[in-house]
Structure 1
Amino acid sequence: MSFLGLGGNPNAAAGGVNKLKIDAAEAELDMVSDMFNRLVDSCHSKCITQQYPEGALNKGESLCLDRCVAKYFEVNTKVGEVS
């Protein structure tokens, strides 16, 4: 069975797709994309300097990013549980 209802669904209209599932998938994709963009903006501004002295992340930046991402998801999960 397809996630978007594109195959193997005998209840779908002949030759059609389930519009509700597509709308739900699009809304979920928008929500995930928004959360990812907020995460990147937040953690980048907190952990990475604006001058980029070297091409790769140094150890301090890597640790900061790991902690920032973990905290971001922890808070996001807690807020989701309260809502």
Structure 2
Amino acid sequence: MFGLGGAPQVTSQQKLQAAEAELDMVTGMFNALVNQCHNKCISKQYNESDVTKQEALCLDRCVAKYFETNVQVGENMQKLGQSGAFMGRK
């Protein structure tokens, strides 16, 4: 479709690179979530072998807030990207 206004073809290599980048991003987000919520909710003394009810509630809230915030940031970045204001393009 050269010169006919068609979308450029995405190669298998580009698809693989995009999938790897997405996996890296998700892995990084998961690791950050684990670190932040563990530091906030789990006592460093490990007095009990199991997670306590209080720790479990804290972890549930921490994870929920982390994902809610992540969704809101993603939506705002998408809006900025669509408006052309992201990275000074406007």
Q: TM-score w.r.t. structure 1 length? A: 0.78
**Pick from 60, 70, 82: which aligns with 1:76?**
70
Q: Percent identity?
A: 61
Specify the code of the residue in structure 2 equivalent to 1:23: Q
Shift of 1:51: 0.5
Taking the aligned partners of 1:79 and 1:39, their CA distance within structure 2 comes to: 15
Query: What's the counterpart of residue 67 of structure 1?
Result: 61
Taking the aligned partners of 1:50 and 1:30, their CA distance within structure 2 comes to: 29
Structure 1 stretches lacking a partner, 5+ long: 1-16
Query: What's the counterpart of residue 18 of structure 1?
Result: 12
| C-alpha distance after superposition, 1:47-82 (max 9, x if no partner) | 001010111100000000000000000000001111
Q: TM-score w.r.t. structure 2 length? A: 0.72
Structure with greater helix share of residues: 2
Query: What's the counterpart of residue 11 of structure 1?
Result: none
Specify the code of the residue in structure 2 equivalent to 1:78: Q
**Pick from 36, 41, 46: which aligns with 1:42?**
36
Shift of 1:21: 1.1
| C-alpha distance after superposition, 1:30-58 (max 9, x if no partner) | 00000001000110010001010111100
Structure 2 stretches lacking a partner, 5+ long: 1-10, 78-90
SS in 2 for 1:73: helix
Aligned residues: 67
